[in-house]
Chain A
Amino acid sequence: QKEVEQNSGPLSVPEGAIASLNCTYSDRVSQSFFWYRQYSGKSPELIMSIYSNGDKEDGRFTAQLNKASQYVSLLIRDSQPSDSATYLCAVKWAASEKLTFGTGTRLTIIP
Protein backbone atom coordinates (compact mmCIF):
# COMPACT_ATOMS: atom_id res chain seq x y z
CA GLN A 1 0.00 0.00 0.00
CA LYS A 2 1.38 3.34 -1.06
CA GLU A 3 1.82 5.87 1.70
CA VAL A 4 1.30 9.00 -0.38
CA GLU A 5 -1.04 8.99 -3.37
CA GLN A 6 -1.66 11.44 -6.19
CA ASN A 7 -3.60 11.32 -9.41
CA SER A 8 -0.85 10.89 -12.01
CA GLY A 9 -2.77 12.87 -14.61
CA PRO A 10 -2.05 14.31 -17.04
CA LEU A 11 -4.11 17.27 -15.94
CA SER A 12 -4.77 19.90 -18.58
CA VAL A 13 -5.93 23.38 -17.58
CA PRO A 14 -6.52 26.44 -19.77
CA GLU A 15 -4.25 29.41 -19.24
CA GLY A 16 -5.66 31.79 -16.64
CA ALA A 17 -7.80 29.12 -14.94
CA ILE A 18 -7.32 27.49 -11.53
CA ALA A 19 -5.36 24.23 -11.39
CA SER A 20 -6.26 21.95 -8.49
CA LEU A 21 -3.89 19.18 -7.41
CA ASN A 22 -4.74 16.65 -4.72
CA CYS A 23 -2.81 14.28 -2.50
CA THR A 24 -3.85 11.75 0.14
CA TYR A 25 -1.69 10.00 2.67
CA SER A 26 -1.94 6.92 4.82
CA ASP A 27 -3.09 6.84 8.41
CA ARG A 28 0.15 7.50 10.25
CA VAL A 29 1.36 10.21 12.50
CA SER A 30 2.33 12.87 10.01
CA GLN A 31 3.95 16.18 10.66
CA SER A 32 4.87 18.19 7.60
CA PHE A 33 3.57 18.43 4.07
CA PHE A 34 5.23 19.82 0.98
CA TRP A 35 4.58 20.53 -2.66
CA TYR A 36 7.45 20.37 -5.12
CA ARG A 37 7.48 21.34 -8.77
CA GLN A 38 9.70 19.40 -11.14
CA TYR A 39 10.38 20.35 -14.73
CA SER A 40 11.43 17.59 -17.09
CA GLY A 41 15.07 16.66 -16.56
CA LYS A 42 15.44 18.99 -13.56
CA SER A 43 15.45 18.48 -9.82
CA PRO A 44 12.42 19.09 -7.57
CA GLU A 45 11.90 22.67 -6.45
CA LEU A 46 10.07 23.39 -3.18
CA ILE A 47 7.10 25.68 -3.75
CA MET A 48 4.95 25.27 -0.62
CA SER A 49 5.13 23.80 2.85
CA ILE A 50 2.21 23.44 5.26
CA TYR A 51 2.19 22.14 8.81
CA SER A 52 -1.25 22.83 10.28
CA ASN A 53 -4.85 22.47 9.17
CA GLY A 54 -6.26 25.17 6.94
CA ASP A 55 -5.03 27.23 4.02
CA LYS A 56 -1.66 28.78 3.34
CA GLU A 57 -1.26 31.25 0.52
CA ASP A 58 1.89 32.34 -1.29
CA GLY A 59 1.34 34.42 -4.39
CA ARG A 60 -0.66 32.41 -6.91
CA PHE A 61 -0.28 29.22 -4.86
CA THR A 62 -2.54 28.05 -2.03
CA ALA A 63 -1.91 24.88 -0.06
CA GLN A 64 -4.77 23.31 1.88
CA LEU A 65 -4.38 20.72 4.62
CA ASN A 66 -7.07 18.59 6.23
CA LYS A 67 -5.53 16.14 8.67
CA ALA A 68 -8.86 14.57 9.65
CA SER A 69 -9.47 13.58 6.04
CA GLN A 70 -5.79 12.95 5.38
CA TYR A 71 -5.49 15.08 2.31
CA VAL A 72 -3.45 18.02 1.17
CA SER A 73 -4.11 20.04 -1.97
CA LEU A 74 -2.46 22.72 -4.05
CA LEU A 75 -4.34 25.39 -5.97
CA ILE A 76 -2.63 27.42 -8.66
CA ARG A 77 -4.53 30.56 -9.63
CA ASP A 78 -4.16 32.36 -12.96
CA SER A 79 -2.29 29.38 -14.40
CA GLN A 80 0.56 30.19 -16.75
CA PRO A 81 2.26 28.00 -19.38
CA SER A 82 5.38 28.12 -17.20
CA ASP A 83 3.41 26.22 -14.54
CA SER A 84 3.45 23.15 -16.80
CA ALA A 85 5.44 20.60 -14.83
CA THR A 86 5.09 17.57 -12.60
CA TYR A 87 3.92 18.43 -9.09
CA LEU A 88 5.08 16.15 -6.30
CA CYS A 89 3.38 15.91 -2.93
CA ALA A 90 5.71 14.94 -0.09
CA VAL A 91 5.04 14.02 3.53
CA LYS A 92 7.44 13.89 6.44
CA TRP A 93 6.35 11.70 9.31
CA ALA A 94 6.67 12.81 12.91
CA ALA A 95 9.92 11.81 14.67
CA SER A 96 11.42 10.82 11.32
CA GLU A 97 13.59 12.53 8.76
CA LYS A 98 12.14 10.38 5.99
CA LEU A 99 10.50 12.43 3.24
CA THR A 100 8.08 10.31 1.20
CA PHE A 101 6.88 11.41 -2.22
CA GLY A 102 3.67 10.73 -4.04
CA THR A 103 3.81 9.56 -7.65
CA GLY A 104 3.39 13.12 -8.94
CA THR A 105 0.77 14.80 -11.14
CA ARG A 106 1.76 16.01 -14.57
CA LEU A 107 0.14 19.39 -15.21
CA THR A 108 -0.14 21.01 -18.63
CA ILE A 109 -1.35 24.60 -19.01
CA ILE A 110 -2.92 25.13 -22.42
CA PRO A 111 -2.33 28.61 -23.91
Chain B
Amino acid sequence: DTEVTQTPKHLVMGMTNKKSLKCEQHMGHRAMYWYKQKAKKPPELMFVYSYEKLSINESVPSRFSPECPNSSLLNLHLHALQPEDSALYLCASSRGSRGGTEAFFGQGTRLTVV
Protein backbone atom coordinates (compact mmCIF):
# COMPACT_ATOMS: atom_id res chain seq x y z
CA ASP B 1 0.00 0.00 0.00
CA THR B 2 1.59 3.25 -1.13
CA GLU B 3 -1.38 5.52 -0.53
CA VAL B 4 -1.12 9.12 0.55
CA THR B 5 -4.50 10.81 0.90
CA GLN B 6 -4.97 14.54 0.45
CA THR B 7 -8.11 16.56 1.10
CA PRO B 8 -9.70 18.50 -0.41
CA LYS B 9 -8.98 17.75 -4.07
CA HIS B 10 -9.99 21.25 -5.10
CA LEU B 11 -10.16 24.47 -3.11
CA VAL B 12 -11.16 28.00 -4.07
CA MET B 13 -10.49 30.64 -1.45
CA GLY B 14 -10.50 34.40 -1.14
CA MET B 15 -7.48 36.37 -0.10
CA THR B 16 -8.91 37.03 3.36
CA ASN B 17 -9.84 33.41 4.08
CA LYS B 18 -8.15 30.90 6.34
CA LYS B 19 -8.15 27.31 5.13
CA SER B 20 -6.23 24.10 5.73
CA LEU B 21 -5.02 21.32 3.48
CA LYS B 22 -4.81 17.86 4.97
CA CYS B 23 -2.55 14.92 4.22
CA GLU B 24 -2.64 11.44 5.75
CA GLN B 25 -0.62 8.27 5.33
CA HIS B 26 -0.82 4.92 7.12
CA MET B 27 2.38 3.36 5.85
CA GLY B 28 4.36 4.08 9.00
CA HIS B 29 6.46 6.60 7.12
CA ARG B 30 8.52 9.00 9.24
CA ALA B 31 9.03 11.76 6.70
CA MET B 32 6.29 13.86 5.14
CA TYR B 33 6.56 16.71 2.66
CA TRP B 34 4.62 19.60 1.19
CA TYR B 35 5.43 20.64 -2.36
CA LYS B 36 4.02 23.43 -4.51
CA GLN B 37 3.79 22.97 -8.26
CA LYS B 38 2.94 25.64 -10.79
CA ALA B 39 1.93 24.76 -14.34
CA LYS B 40 4.77 23.37 -16.48
CA LYS B 41 7.20 23.63 -13.55
CA PRO B 42 8.67 20.92 -11.31
CA PRO B 43 7.48 20.47 -7.73
CA GLU B 44 9.13 22.90 -5.35
CA LEU B 45 9.76 21.79 -1.78
CA MET B 46 8.06 23.86 0.91
CA PHE B 47 8.41 21.85 4.14
CA VAL B 48 9.72 18.54 5.37
CA TYR B 49 8.79 16.84 8.63
CA SER B 50 11.22 14.05 9.37
CA TYR B 51 11.32 12.20 12.66
CA GLU B 52 9.36 15.05 14.31
CA LYS B 53 11.82 17.66 13.04
CA LEU B 54 10.65 20.43 10.71
CA SER B 55 12.79 21.70 7.84
CA ILE B 56 11.66 24.82 6.01
CA ASN B 57 12.44 26.18 2.56
CA GLU B 58 13.43 29.72 3.55
CA SER B 59 11.73 31.17 0.47
CA VAL B 60 8.26 30.04 1.60
CA PRO B 61 6.24 33.00 2.92
CA SER B 62 4.80 32.94 6.42
CA ARG B 63 1.23 32.82 5.10
CA PHE B 64 1.88 29.08 4.76
CA SER B 65 2.35 27.18 8.03
CA PRO B 66 2.68 23.42 8.46
CA GLU B 67 1.39 21.40 11.35
CA CYS B 68 2.17 17.78 12.17
CA PRO B 69 -0.34 16.53 14.80
CA ASN B 70 1.14 13.03 14.65
CA SER B 71 3.39 10.96 12.43
CA SER B 72 0.52 10.04 10.07
CA LEU B 73 -0.90 13.51 9.51
CA LEU B 74 0.47 16.66 7.97
CA ASN B 75 -1.60 19.81 7.58
CA LEU B 76 -0.85 22.99 5.71
CA HIS B 77 -2.56 26.09 7.09
CA LEU B 78 -3.24 28.89 4.64
CA HIS B 79 -3.88 32.50 5.60
CA ALA B 80 -4.09 35.72 3.57
CA LEU B 81 -2.93 34.09 0.36
CA GLN B 82 -2.27 35.90 -2.88
CA PRO B 83 -3.48 34.98 -6.39
CA GLU B 84 0.06 33.89 -7.28
CA ASP B 85 -0.25 31.17 -4.64
CA SER B 86 -2.70 29.36 -6.90
CA ALA B 87 -1.07 26.03 -7.72
CA LEU B 88 -1.17 22.29 -7.21
CA TYR B 89 -0.15 21.45 -3.64
CA LEU B 90 1.36 18.01 -3.26
CA CYS B 91 1.93 15.99 -0.15
CA ALA B 92 4.39 13.10 -0.11
CA SER B 93 5.77 10.66 2.40
CA SER B 94 8.75 8.35 2.70
CA ARG B 95 10.15 5.98 5.26
CA GLY B 96 12.95 8.46 5.89
CA SER B 97 16.67 8.04 5.43
CA ARG B 98 16.90 5.54 8.24
CA GLY B 99 14.69 3.12 6.36
CA GLY B 100 14.69 3.79 2.65
CA THR B 101 14.11 6.94 0.71
CA GLU B 102 11.40 6.44 -1.92
CA ALA B 103 8.78 9.16 -1.71
CA PHE B 104 5.15 8.64 -2.70
CA PHE B 105 2.77 11.45 -3.59
CA GLY B 106 -0.86 12.05 -2.88
CA GLN B 107 -3.19 13.12 -5.67
CA GLY B 108 -2.74 16.78 -4.80
CA THR B 109 -4.97 19.72 -3.94
CA ARG B 110 -5.69 22.18 -6.74
CA LEU B 111 -5.81 25.58 -5.02
CA THR B 112 -7.23 28.71 -6.62
CA VAL B 113 -6.94 32.03 -4.80
CA VAL B 114 -9.39 34.68 -5.96
Contact = CB atoms under 8 A, between A and B. Distances in A.
Interface of A: 31-32, 34, 36, 42-46, 49, 88, 90, 92, 95-104
Given A97-B50, A97-B94, A101-B43, A92 B101 contact: yes
Contacts, number: 57
B45 interface: yes
Contacts of A97: 31, 33, 48, 50, 55, 94, 96-97
Contacts of B101: 31-32, 49, 92
Given A88-B42, A100-B45, A101-B42, A95 B107 contact: no
B108 interface: yes
B64 interface: no
B48 A98 contact: yes
Given A49-B102, A97-B31, A43 B108 contact: yes
Contacts of A103: 41-42
Given A97-B50, A98-B55, A44 B33 contact: no
Interface in B73-92: 88, 90, 92
Contacts of B33: 97, 99
Nearest to B32: A97
Interface string B1-24: 010000000000000000000000
B106 interface: yes
A31 B101 CA distance: 9
8 contacts: A31-B101, A32-B101, A36-B105, A43-B106, A49-B101, A95-B97, A97-B94, A98-B48
A100 B103 CA distance: 11
Closest 3 CB pairs between A and B? A101-B42, A97-B50, A43-B105
A45 B105 contact: yes
A47 B39 CA distance: 21
Contacts of B45: 98-100
Nearest to A32: B101
A46 B104 contact: yes
Contact of B103 (A46, A102, A104): A46
A43 B90 contact: yes
